[in-house]
Structure 1
Amino acid sequence: MARNGEQEMSLLRTFMNTNINLRKWFDQQFLPSSFIKDGNKDFIVEMAPSYLRQGMKIYDVGGEAALRIHQKKTALCLNIVGIDISQTELDRAPVGGYDETVCADIVNIHGAGDGDLVICQAVLEHVKDTEGALRSIASLLMPGWRALIFVPSRNAVFARLNVLLPEKLKRKILYGVYSNARAAQGFPSFYHKCTPDDFIAMAKHNGLAVIESRYYYISSYFSFLFPVYLVWRIWVVIFKSIAGHQAAETFSMVLVKKALCKGIEGRQGKVFFSENLW
């Protein structure tokens, strides 16, 4: 029985790998580079490191930043505060990854306005009150400093399915297809106001200005079955031609907390902003 089970798993892995290779071939042959850029990777490898500066106080909302920028912590003398609703998730951070932890719902955080940077990766889709979360993020920042946010969009097909399907069924499918997702995925998702235009509007309402945005048009959810993946990719191309960046599967934004005056003194020295940002 065990041998038969191993053979079945081997066949399943071969089947999935074949479909994944077909997906990669299709994307490289027929789609522009803007359609095949991975949002998660771009956010944590390219965007987030470009905003790190010596001596920053960083609030990591959701427990991902400490796992990703741990190697830079000592070199840049970063002070990292982890915020998560789950103590278990906070405990996953590398030893010494956090200088302080706060176990709380981000919606209920009332910050001291002493942060240089907030990093929030793939968290806000799990929050029922997204605008309240942005208000809390703004309260963590000093005027003139930034929040880096990565969010799966509610307009993505996988997000719509996530909202519609029962929680138990979603987890069964997710863990069945992606067995390594059990530890890091599968949390309830709501996607409340999780679209690019909604975020731009909510940011403005909470004293934040969008100074950079990136939109991504790929996700891995359908890559295990190429015919389904192909239909989905055709849909994304059509949807983008109609809705523009609102068709993004995921997106990232850099938000700066608005200052009352043009010059703001912080730990990194005086920073000047052009009036047209506001």
Structure 2
Amino acid sequence: MSLAAALSRSSQAFDRLLPADWQVEGSREYRNHTLPSFLKPGLTVWDIGSGRTPMISPQRKAEIGMTVVGLDIDPEELKAAPPGAYDRSIVADLTKFEGDGSADLVVSHCCLEHVPDNRASMRAIASMLKPGGRAVIYQPSRNAAFSRLNMILPEAIKLKLLGALPDKGGKGGFKAFYNHCTPAQFKRLAREHGLEIEQERVFWNSGYFQIFPPLHVLWRGGQALFRLVAGEQAAESFMLVLRKP
């Protein structure tokens, strides 16, 4: 076992002493449970910002029988996606995009923190959805400690630190703005664009400090105090299911 793995296990052992809701990792919950519960045969799904890492594998898409449209601002990201991942690829700036109202489901996972204007993003998402369609969105919160660090650290240092994480930081290598990225602000933007809040959930766990156990414990203590003051606004990340009437 590597030193980094051993240190991470120490932090995880500490987390097991905490209440159950502190232990749920939001991204994993979204990918393994929430999103699959919305995948049905015959749906038209728009996957926004996933690029080379589609949220629905080509195999799963074929098994269920869905049409998946991939939208990303970077053409190279879309080209790098596995063969068959997208039935149609659209290169577009989400903040300037106008949908055609064809989507049964819009999928967004760790994408919108990289968009500088999420009021425009929410308008675009609403325009993609057909009446009765849903958007299933998972987001890190701008109030999380790692988000604050992401906004202030120089890019070179940030990328080096992200490289030490088990998943290399996911999409953390892209510039992040965290525009309106809190549960309350996202819900407000959704309502402004005529979308109903069908489900919401906040998460309190992330792995950003696990390889430094003393810092991880210190972070958990600060997080507990912040939660007492700010409630769900102190969450690490959040998930929303929005419905177009």
Q: TM-score interval w.r.t. the shorter chain? A: over 0.9
Match of 1:83 in 2: 71
Match of 2:175 in 1: 188
Contact kept in structure 1, 2:110 and 2:171, CA below 8 Å? no
Query: How well do the aligned residues superpose, as a CA RMSD in angstroms?
Result: 1.7
Structure 2 CA distance for partners of 1:125 and 1:209, relative to 1, 3 Å: same
Q: Structure 2 unaligned runs (5+)?
A: none
User: Whole-Å Cα distance in 2 between the matches of residues 247 and 84 of structure 1?
Assistant: 29
Q: Structure 1 unaligned runs (5+)?
A: 1-12, 259-278
- Return the match for 2:192 from 205, 208, 227: 205
User: Whole-Å Cα distance in 1 between the matches of residues 170 and 146 of structure 2?
Assistant: 19
* Amino acid aligned to 1:242: V
Structure 2 CA distance for partners of 1:246 and 1:174, relative to 1, 3 Å: same
User: Whole-Å Cα distance in 2 between the matches of residues 134 and 121 of structure 1?
Assistant: 14
Q: State the SS of the aligned residue for 2:151.
A: helix
TM-score by length of 2: 0.94
User: Whole-Å Cα distance in 2 between the matches of residues 20 and 169 of structure 1?
Assistant: 21
- Return the match for 1:62 from 49, 62, 74: 49
The sequence identity of aligned pairs, in percent, is 37
Is 1:218 the counterpart of 2:205? The answer is yes
User: Whole-Å Cα distance in 2 between the matches of residues 83 and 156 of structure 1?
Assistant: 27
* Amino acid aligned to 1:21: R
Higher relative CO (Cα under 8 Å, sequence separation at least 6) belongs to 2
1:105 shift after superposition: 1.3
State how 1:10-21 maps to structure 2 within 5 Å.
Answer: 14-21=2-9
Structure 1 residue runs of 4 or more that deviate by more than 6 Å after TM superposition: none
User: Whole-Å Cα distance in 2 between the matches of residues 182 and 250 of structure 1?
Assistant: 15
Contact kept in structure 2, 1:125 and 1:151, CA below 8 Å? yes
Match of 2:145 in 1: 157
* Amino acid aligned to 1:227: P
- Return the match for 1:31 from 2, 9, 18: 18
1:183 shift after superposition: 7.6
TM-score by length of 1: 0.83
Is 1:72 the counterpart of 2:60? The answer is yes
User: Whole-Å Cα distance in 2 between the matches of residues 44 and 205 of structure 1?
Assistant: 27
**CA-to-partner distance for each residue in 1:36-85, whole Å, 9 max, x for gaps?**
11111111111111111210000000126735443321122100000001
- Return the match for 1:119 from 107, 112, 115: 107
Structure 2 CA distance for partners of 1:17 and 1:248, relative to 1, 3 Å: same
Q: State the SS of the aligned residue for 2:71.
A: strand
1:234 shift after superposition: 1.1
* Amino acid aligned to 1:112: D
Match of 1:238 in 2: 225
Contact kept in structure 1, 2:49 and 2:108, CA below 8 Å? yes
User: Whole-Å Cα distance in 2 between the matches of residues 54 and 113 of structure 1?
Assistant: 19
* Amino acid aligned to 1:181: K
Q: State the SS of the aligned residue for 2:180.
A: coil
Q: State the SS of the aligned residue for 1:66.
A: coil
Contact kept in structure 2, 1:152 and 1:249, CA below 8 Å? yes
Match of 2:243 in 1: 256
State how 1:92-131 maps to structure 2 within 5 Å.
Answer: 92-131=80-119
Q: State the SS of the aligned residue for 1:31.
A: coil
1:123 shift after superposition: 0.3
User: Whole-Å Cα distance in 2 between the matches of residues 219 and 182 of structure 1?
Assistant: 11
- Return the match for 2:37 from 40, 47, 50: 50
**CA-to-partner distance for each residue in 1:11-48, whole Å, 9 max, x for gaps?**
xx7332221111111111x2111111111111111111
User: Whole-Å Cα distance in 2 between the matches of residues 146 and 179 of structure 1?
Assistant: 31
